[in-house]
Amino acid sequence: MGLLSDPEYGSVKWVKVLKKINFPLCCLCYVGSILWFFTLAHPEFNNETYFSENALLPGLVRNEFNGEHSANKFFNEFIQELEDKYEDSNEMPVDWLVAKMSQLSLEVYTHNFSLNYPFGQGQTYKGTNVYGILRAPRTSSLEALVVTAPYRSLSNHQKGTAAGIALMLAFAQFARPQNYWAKDIIFLITEHEQLGMQAWLEAYHGLQQETSTFYTSLGSFWQTGFDFGKPPQIFEWLMTDHSKSLDPGVLKGRSGSIQAAINLEFHTPKFKYIEVKVEGLNGQLPNLDLVNLAHKLCVLSDIHHSYQNSFTWLRSRNNIDEWVYSIGTMLKMSAAQVTGVPNGNHGLFLPFGIDAITLEGRELNDPAGDPPRAQYLSTRNFYLLGITLERVLRSLNNLLERFHQSYFFYMLAATNRYISIGQYMPSLCLLCGAMLTRALCLWVTIQQDEEIEKRQDEKDKGLKEKKSEEILENTEEKADSEEKEPLIKDVIKPKEDVINTKEDEIKTNEEVVMAKEDEINAKKAAIKAKNDEIETKNGADLNISIVNVGCNYFLVHILGYAANCSPEYFNYIGTTYFDQTPEASIFYGLIALSVFYLFVTPFAFRFPTFEDLSMTNILLLIELATACLAIGMHNFPLGLLIAVLYTPLALLVGVVGDDCRKRSAIVLFLKRILCIILQPLFVVSIALILYSWVLFPEEGVLSKMSRGRDATMQGVMFSVVDSVIYGNWLFQVVTMVIFPTWILFWQILCNRVTY
């Protein structure tokens, strides 16, 4: 056995120290991590953004955009068209767009897609995207840029995007006669917001619902060739695969591989400032160079721009003010990333390896809220916007390689400040480090206990053969100390080292060559004795039942997987038997499931011993820490949030002993309360109820609660639907990682064992 399982090391100094300071150390890590996170917002601790990719050459070209007039014309015509013909319909004016794009000599195509709503009774939604391709001269359509705008009808509760579409058309008109394009430009107008975008991207990359071309053939790489035949009729409903609810249809025209995409959301031609939106699906971010490009070119074009809580016209000399704004920006960015829901159509490009951003025009009384002093900003128009778009696209046109130079993992503290992955990761690592330290400490403790037991046994035995035992131990210890000297130098103080070596020297001096034979004999005996000892120890002292722990662990994760698969069935049951909406049936179903797990899971662990539970605790801590780190690598705010929420619980939860003193009973009760509060569904509900508390402060308590409940229902539903349609993995993470860990915590807190 090595260092971590060596029965001797319980007495080593660092183990003692660790056991003494582990709790304060972990608490320190926790506080340190949070402090670290907030310190990052301070200008001293983050960096100014810069262009890493030299080929972008931003702002070097002379602007030629002159389409302000035509943009206004397109805008008025479009609004007129909508008011005349599409006043009360949600349909997109496909014909009008096709006609306009054809007149601009673009290659125009339409793209039909449909959605079989996964949680309805076979409802199907249909939509149409329109796109026109500007073929770059002298290229064989190998690369493309995408300019896109979502279509929103007049009756839509969201801000319209008519100005964005008008600008796109005007820009297409301007760009078509230009000779310098090295990449095709695809002008795309999508219907049904993100659904249309997702369908278009899937169709562009050949992911089809009919497994006719890509999937089947792709499958030949990994399918083993087994054919299970058709499932029987009963299983048909169970086997229905809802993962392909979106039928992306087929594209009739294509260009090459897409390098970058710009999404335009402009409601009116007169706007105050531009918000650059970056957060994508699952918290993915576009390359920092692209984000910089948008910000820097806005500065060059004299357009006010903002990112979350950072507004370019509010620059203060005061570092503390800056800090506060930056913290706001970081928190808002984190909030946007945690849900994993893209905050614009750009976010769906990112999983396909395409960098994309959204430019959103904001005016006064925007739904997103008015930033300070926005009313004093002068209004910007199509001309400046067109120039910005021209600059951005010509910079992208210069790109020889795909975006790869700059950061893909970063946080933005302001429009021009960033925090790289190397700077923010320590804050998550500290949290995970706290959990791992706790795991190590627990491991050391069970080892130690075994050690104590072993020692006691030895003493009992030792009474009989004290003398021989002493010799044995001496030699053993000597051998051990000899072996350990080079290995655990860091831990043992040099002084001790010196003493040991001195002792050894003396011993070696004492033992003359003539006595060597005796020593060998003694050593042989010692080894024999030691081997026997280990055997007896293995037989009697090890109380950890691998089967018990493993089975429980496996079972709990299966339960998590069951929770992940459950919405479909809850929806089926709720809608057919209880006549509920899908939202309600899934929400109440999940609540029922949670309550069921709450009462059942503590009994899942059969005949737990102290060691079993400790072992489970250790595994659980390691799993949680690893999961947080892994999630944090992808989606830092989500990983951090999980770690921040669950580290306190992880540090407090310990195996509960049988001794029922009053104080410890109260503590245990409080721990259990904390654990229940941290139940994932409960956390979400509390968070959303608090949010509705903030949003609607004027309403009564009950109505606030019901609003919160509705919000939770919607939130859960969205996360389920998003995971099915777009591949958002928040729901999977929560049900398959967080939920099982929570169950394990609960099990540990609810089982009492004797030491």
Partner 1 sequence: MLNLRLLLFSVAFLSPILQIKGDDFKEEMFIKPLPPSHLYVYFQFLTLANGEESFEHSHLAPRSLGEIVSRYQVEELHLTLTEGQWKHNTWGYPVLDAAPGAELYAWFAPDVVDVDTQWKKLSSTLSGLFCASLNFIENMNTVSPKMALWPTGAYSKSHQNITSQLRYASLPREIVCTENLTPWKKLLPCESSHGFSSLLNSRMIHNTNYHSIGVHIRRMCSGSNCLDTSLEIKQTVALVYDFKILNTMDWSLRKLFGQGLPGACPLSSSSRIYVDITSNSSYPFKLLPEPNSIMFSHRGGSKTELAVYEINHSNMMNIGAKYEMRNKIFVNIPPPLTFNRYVLGYGKEFGGIVTELSNNYWAPIDVVLLENAPWWLPIQLSTLRINGEAESKLIMSQYYSPGRSRQKPYHLELLLKLPPKSTTTVTIDFEFVFLKWQEYPPDANHGFYVGSALLSANLPTAKNYTSLPITGSTFDSIVNASKPWYPIVFRTNGGMVSLPTPDFSMPYNVICLACTVVALAFGPLNNICTKEVVLKIIVVPVSLRQKIFNIFKKKKD
Which residues contact partner 1 (rule: CB under 8 A)?
1-4, 102-103, 105, 107, 135, 137-143, 176-179, 205-206, 210, 212-214, 216-218, 220-221, 253-254, 256-257, 352-353, 400-402, 404-405, 479, 483, 487, 516, 520, 523-524, 526-527
- State the minimum distance, in angstroms, from the CB of residue 492 to partner 1: 14
- State the minimum distance, in angstroms, from the CB of residue 405 to partner 1: 7
Identity of the residue, 353 or 578, whose beta carbon is nearer to partner 1 in the bound complex: 353
Identity of the residue, 487 or 666, whose beta carbon is nearer to partner 1 in the bound complex: 487
Question: What does residue 420 show for φ and ψ, rounded to 5 degrees?
Answer: -85, 170
Distance CA 420, CA 52 (A): 13
Distance CA 529, CA 542 (A): 19
The CA distances from residue 47 to 115, 135, 332, 337, 421, in Å, are: 44, 39, 19, 21, 12
- State the minimum distance, in angstroms, from the CB of residue 545 to partner 1: 23
Distance CA 677, CA 685 (A): 10
Identity of the residue, 221 or 577, whose beta carbon is nearer to partner 1 in the bound complex: 221
- State the minimum distance, in angstroms, from the CB of residue 129 to partner 1: 18
- State the minimum distance, in angstroms, from the CB of residue 402 to partner 1: 5
Question: Cα 382 to chain center, whole Å?
Answer: 37
Identity of the residue, 177 or 700, whose beta carbon is nearer to partner 1 in the bound complex: 177
Identity of the residue, 236 or 497, whose beta carbon is nearer to partner 1 in the bound complex: 497
- State the minimum distance, in angstroms, from the CB of residue 346 to partner 1: 16
Identity of the residue, 85 or 252, whose beta carbon is nearer to partner 1 in the bound complex: 252
Strand positions, DSSP E, 239-320: 246-247, 257-265, 273-277, 305-307, 310-311
Cα separation of the two ends of the chain: 25
Residues 6+ apart with CB under 8 A from 269: 71, 72, 75, 163, 166, 381, 382, 385
The one-letter amino acid at 577:
Y
- State the minimum distance, in angstroms, from the CB of residue 407 to partner 1: 10
Alpha helices in 601-661 (DSSP H): 610-634, 636-652
- State the minimum distance, in angstroms, from the CB of residue 479 to partner 1: 5
- State the minimum distance, in angstroms, from the CB of residue 467 to partner 1: 21
- State the minimum distance, in angstroms, from the CB of residue 530 to partner 1: 9
Identity of the residue, 526 or 629, whose beta carbon is nearer to partner 1 in the bound complex: 526
Distance CA 593, CA 37 (A): 35
Query: Both tokens of residue 68?
Result: 């302000």
- State the minimum distance, in angstroms, from the CB of residue 55 to partner 1: 9
Question: What does residue 143 show for φ and ψ, rounded to 5 degrees?
Answer: -130, 155
Residue 634's Cβ-side half-sphere holds a number of Cα atoms within 13 Å equal to 19
Identity of the residue, 140 or 233, whose beta carbon is nearer to partner 1 in the bound complex: 140
Which residue, 163, 258, 154, 159, is CA-closest to 201? 258
For the chain, how many helices (H) and strands (E)? 23, 15
Identity of the residue, 4 or 335, whose beta carbon is nearer to partner 1 in the bound complex: 4
- State the minimum distance, in angstroms, from the CB of residue 222 to partner 1: 9
Query: Both tokens of residue 40?
Result: 């990052």
Query: Both tokens of residue 440?
Result: 């190590």
| 392 exposure class (CB count in 10 Å sphere: 0-12, 13-18, 19+) | buried
Identity of the residue, 88 or 401, whose beta carbon is nearer to partner 1 in the bound complex: 401
Identity of the residue, 155 or 531, whose beta carbon is nearer to partner 1 in the bound complex: 531
Query: What burial letters (b/e) apply to 292-329, b meaning 16+ CB within 10 Å?
Result: bbbbbbbeebebbbbbbbbbbebeeeeeeebbebbbeb
Identity of the residue, 563 or 618, whose beta carbon is nearer to partner 1 in the bound complex: 618
- State the minimum distance, in angstroms, from the CB of residue 441 to partner 1: 16
Identity of the residue, 234 or 400, whose beta carbon is nearer to partner 1 in the bound complex: 400
For residues 269 and 163, the answer to whether their CB atoms sit within 8 Å is: yes
The CA distances from residue 89 to 2, 86, 154, 254, in Å, are: 73, 5, 9, 30
Distance CA 686, CA 671 (A): 18
